[in-house]
Amino acid sequence: MAMVLGAEEIDSALLIEMLLPVLWLSRLEAFAVNSSVEGAMVLHHAYEQFGITSYVYTVTFSITDSSTDWSTKYGRLDPRWDAGVLDGHCLLWLPQSGRVVDATVEQFSTAPGSMPQLLVGRGTSLTPPERTSAGGGLAAGTLLPVLSPVGLLHYELTGPEYRDLVSSSLTQEANEQYRRAGVNLASRALTLLRVGPVAERVRKVPYPRLHALLDAVGNAEFVVEPNGDFFFTIRSDDVERSLRLDAITIEVVDALVSRYPEDREPRPGPEHDLVKETLSDVATEARVLRSGTTATGGGDVPIVLFEPRGAVGVQVRGFATLEAQAEGIIMAGFSRFLPNFTAVPRLSSWSVRHTPDGLELWDGGGIWARAELSVDDEWLAAAEAHQMVRVIYGVFVGVRVPHGRVSYTDADREVELVRARHSGIVAVAEIPWAGKHKAPGSRWWHWNRRTASRWTVRRTS
């Protein structure tokens, strides 16, 4: 734990993601039957307290030795339950960072100490890369290869009827016990995350709920009951109360509204809602790149950066200022484009479309961004060749020239994008290229990716 908390080279978000399984393992004397289920479920509820989304999946697991190429496989694609015990293995998937958490990987070691105690890391690739839900869930059959010091660890998600343990009736029976243990685990972690330099690093992570908990708990004293229940002594209105972490009232400002409000027209007069107007406005400015740069994630893939014309701050008690439009598109399937992030999701139901005036970004339900710009033939040819475009979305991604600046170099734009990524206000995804389909008059034909056997007609402005 001291190593994790003191290692400045560890990314702040990774610090939190690692600390919880390290704490759980530190209180585990030995791997018991069903320990992968218990660990994953407890960690799921602990991450939930900090506002970190996690999915618990059953998987098969194989280890390929880096020196001999010999591979050993564990688990089964049709995991079975025997008297409440899982014949198989499970792990957590964290879509916000694209990392896998396997707290019990050591139990598959053939020799003591030959494998790490736990695994928290990003997959080298996702196959298939598409996510199946707005929250970033993975499809059954997804392959997750992860490099480790001992070789390649290869996970495969089992069939849909087995894979999601959180909603399984077998885990629901013990869910309250798992939830309570997860709250206690998060409470213990919070006492470490609120101290000195560690607290300063934690303030940089894009998890508003965690910031609000740190504010609410402050330096409050705590008591641990013999049964492990954790209570903080919270003073409110000159009254002291002993509260569990999940009973503490926190204030998180939620400024997100629907991207598709019924009233799209600005309302004149004093009742005019500027926040709602900004969030419902799909007009953006945009910039295209033929291939990736360091700031845009690299790679030989065409890129479009959409920059909304206005911003709406989402602030938690003076800390963790995020941007509501970026949060909205992240909730819809994009990933937060943090530094060192590599697992860019591919969203098959979305599309980037070429219009007479520029480019548009659509999902299955409607338009998210429209930009007027001239797109050169070289970029269009790259998009046609790849049939995929990397979309970077945010209010400070290096598109607009700042007020008062006569010039804005490519280096200036890169610096702006990197700074915004560090702030957690940039979203990224790889989106299918829909090209341009022209019909007579002012109507444009768009291929509907969700229903591939049909065409749809949309009238654009």
At 26-83, the pLDDT tens digits run: 877 556 667 888 899 999 999 999 988 888 888 888 887 766 777 778 777 877 777 7
At 159-183, the pLDDT tens digits run: 766 666 666 666 667 788 889 999 9
- Domains in the chain: boundaries: 2-175, 274-458
Packed helices 35-49 and 12-26: angle between N→C axes, nearest 10 degrees: 140
Query: Tokens at residue 106, please?
Result: 């050591």
- Distance CA(8)–CA(39), nearest Å, equals 27
The pLDDT confidence band at residue 262, using thresholds 50, 70 and 90, is very low
One-letter amino acid for residue 85 of the chain: V
Q: For all residues of the chain together, what is the average pLDDT?
A: 79
Instruction: Say whether 75 sits in a helix, a strand or coil.
Output: coil
Beta bridge partners of 131: 138
Look at residue 124 in the predicted model and tell me its pLDDT: 67
The pLDDT confidence band at residue 319, using thresholds 50, 70 and 90, is very low
Alpha-helix runs per DSSP H in 1-101 = 2-6, 12-26, 35-49
pTM of the full predicted structure? 0.59
Taking each continuous run of H as one helix and of E as one strand, the counts in the chain are: 12, 25
More confident residue, 123 or 51: 51
How much is the average pLDDT of 236-260? 67
User: Above 90 in pLDDT, residue 287?
Assistant: yes
10 Å CB burial of residue 8 (0-12, 13-18, 19+) is: exposed
For every residue of 351-413, DSSP letters joined together read EEEE-SSEEEEEETTEEEEEEE----HHHHHHHHHHSEEEEEE-SSSS-SPPTT-S---HHHH
